[in-house]
Amino acid sequence: MAPTLEQRVRGLLSQIEAEGLYKRERVINSTQAGRIRVVSQASEREFVNLCANNYLGLADHPEVIAAAKRGLDEFGFGMASVRFICGTQAVHRELERTIAGYLGKEDAILFAACFDANGGVFEPLLDADDAIISDSLNHASIIDGVRLCKARRYRFTNGDMNELEDRLKEADRDGARFKLIATDGVFSMDGYVANLAVICNLAERYGAVVMVDDCHATGHLGEAGRGTPTLTGTSQKVEIVTGTFGKSLGGAMGGFVAASQSIIDLLRQRARPYLFSNSLAPAVAAGSIKAIAIAEIADDRRQLLAAHARRFRSGLEKAGFELLAGETPIIPVMLHEARLAQDMAAALDERGVYVAPFFYPVVPKGRARIRTQMSAALTEKDVEFAVDAFADAGKALGVI
Ligand SMILES: *Cc1c(COP(=O)(O)O)cnc(C)c1O
């Protein structure tokens, strides 16, 4: 007899489990912060948290929470409508203008998540006559968004600018009308910043448009936290920026595209995740507006974040760990083997440090690691505590 769907699903689950790839969610019994309370085996322990995208520490900022509460009181709990029917309040337009102004673009359009922004941005702008040239390490949502668009797809190896140029030439040979280069601003698994200076030069030379997904940069990288275009001096040249309110900017949820007025106007007419999905909750929009206002003047937080990154990097290097080089608060500790990364995460867990191990298929085989992320929510003491825990766990496992 043919297996039922239920049997197939159970088979897949056992396979995921057997491969050691089964992800289990842990319950956090506190706000998102530098120190969190995590439920483990019916008890609860405090951890230093090294794996949130809460770079600026705004996730539990009292002013952000107060602004969200005011949003709730003033605008209600939900809109029960997509934007164009009866789902647009002043707070939605204010958030769009605020994020556009922050990033130096004419306008912006909100989505339920950046996953949706990337899912909806390509298809309205390009069709089968056009070309999208995409970095091989781009986020899953860019890959999906590109798939939903009829444009021809070209891929270049992460950060390989010669290959990017080859792909631009190839697209020209194939007769592409418009060419768009799509890249993450920061590649989240490695913490590398995209080489936007070279990308934008190539784009100019070959007449391509540049789109940057700056989820891991908006709020904390570049002058005033305006992200990788500002960091690399390319903000005039990067025409389309996508991003999230779910990381540095308060960490709640919601995504956006920021670009010229006409691009945003067309996305409002045609972007499917915008047209066919509910409006952002007003409290989330109100809290995000406050988070941007704080981020824009948060040089103190950005300095603390950078100081933590330097301290943590040098502490781990001194202890003998292998790190990936970089200039972002993402600091990957290389362990190479999946089993070792998991054992190291468990050893750190016992020592009160919450980290996430990454291994194949999330990163290439033999490139397993613990990806740590610094946050302005951490104190110097927390960072030192984490360095000591790494050193202790590393010795216990023979890593260093
Ligand atoms: C987190 C992330 C996303 C998804 O953002 P959400 O708002 O959580 O959907 C998209 N792209 C990149 C590069 C990201 O890091």
Do 140 and 159 have their domain in common? yes
Mutate to test the pocket of ligand 1, among 215, 216, 228 (most ligand atoms within 8 A of CB): 215
Q: What is the CATH number of the domain that holds 257?
A: 3.40.640.10
Residue 175 phi/psi, 5-degree rounding, is 85, 25
Please give the distance, rounded to the nearest whole angstrom, from the Cα atom of residue 238 to the centre of ligand 1.
18
* C-alpha 329: how far from chain center: 12
Do 292 and 303 have their domain in common? no
Nearest CA, atom 1, ligand 1 = 215
For the record, the structure tokens of 392 come out as: 């202790």
Q: Give the CB-side neighbour count of residue 353, counting CA atoms within 13 A.
A: 28
- The burial of 354, by beta-carbon neighbours within 10 Å (0-12 exposed, 13-18 middle, 19 or more buried), is given as buried
The domain in which residue 161 lies consists of: 62-297
Q: What is the CATH number of the domain that holds 352?
A: 3.90.1150.10
The answer for 224, left when phi > 0, alpha when psi is -120 to 50, beta otherwise, is left
Predicted local confidence at residue 309, as pLDDT: 98
Q: Which residues pair with 152 in a beta bridge?
A: 131
Last residue of some domain: 264, 297, 330? Answer: 297
Do 72 and 96 have their domain in common? yes
Do 39 and 127 have their domain in common? no
Do 104 and 221 have their domain in common? yes
**Any binding-site annotation on 379?**
no
Residue tagged active-site, from 92, 105, 216, 308: 216
For the record, the structure tokens of 350 come out as: 């016992």
Q: Where are the beta strands (DSSP E) in the chain?
A: 35-40, 43-49, 107-111, 131-135, 152-156, 179-184, 186-187, 192-193, 208-213, 240-244, 255-259, 330-336, 353-354, 356-358, 368-373
Q: Please give all residues whose beta carbon lies within 6 A of any atom in ligand 1, as ranges.
A: 113-115, 118, 139, 141, 184, 188, 213, 215-216, 244, 246, 255
- Quick check: is 336 catalytic? no
CA gap 261, 240 in Å, rounded: 11
Polymer length of the chain: 400
Q: Is residue 355 part of a domain?
A: yes
Do 151 and 84 have their domain in common? yes
Do 287 and 307 have their domain in common? no
Do 35 and 79 have their domain in common? no
Do 211 and 360 have their domain in common? no
Which of 109, 45, 102 has the alpha carbon at shortest distance from 259? Answer: 109
**Any binding-site annotation on 246?**
yes
Do 68 and 106 have their domain in common? yes
- Quick check: is 248 catalytic? no
Residue tagged active-site, from 188, 235, 279, 375: 188
The amino acid that residue 195 corresponds to is: N
User: β-strands 43-49, 35-40: how paired?
Assistant: antiparallel
CA gap 175, 236 in Å, rounded: 27
Q: Is residue 381 part of a domain?
A: yes
Q: Counting atoms of ligand 1 from 1, which one is nearest the CA of 253?
A: 7
User: β-strands 131-135, 368-373: how paired?
Assistant: unpaired
DSSP 323: B
Do 102 and 232 have their domain in common? yes
Q: Is residue 177 part of a domain?
A: yes
For the record, the structure tokens of 61 come out as: 């900022």
Model confidence, pTM: 0.97
Predicted local confidence at residue 352, as pLDDT: 97
Q: Give the CB-side neighbour count of residue 354, counting CA atoms within 13 A.
A: 22
Q: Counting atoms of ligand 1 from 1, which one is nearest the CA of 213?
A: 13
Please give the distance, rounded to the nearest whole angstrom, from the Cα atom of residue 327 to the centre of ligand 1.
20
Last residue of some domain: 259, 277, 297? Answer: 297
Predicted local confidence at residue 73, as pLDDT: 98
Structural domains counted in the chain: 2
Do 98 and 210 have their domain in common? yes
Starting at the edge strand that comes first in sequence, how are the strands of the sheet with 353-354 ordered?
A: 35-40, 43-49, 353-354
Which residue numbers in the chain have pLDDT < 70?
none
Tell how many helices (H) and how many strands (E) occur in the chain.
15, 15
Contact 353, 332 (CB under 8 A): no
Q: Counting atoms of ligand 1 from 1, which one is nearest the CA of 118?
A: 10
> How high does pLDDT run on average in the chain?
97
Q: Is residue 19 part of a domain?
A: no
Last residue of some domain: 297, 327, 347? Answer: 297
Q: Is residue 13 part of a domain?
A: no
CA gap 129, 116 in Å, rounded: 24
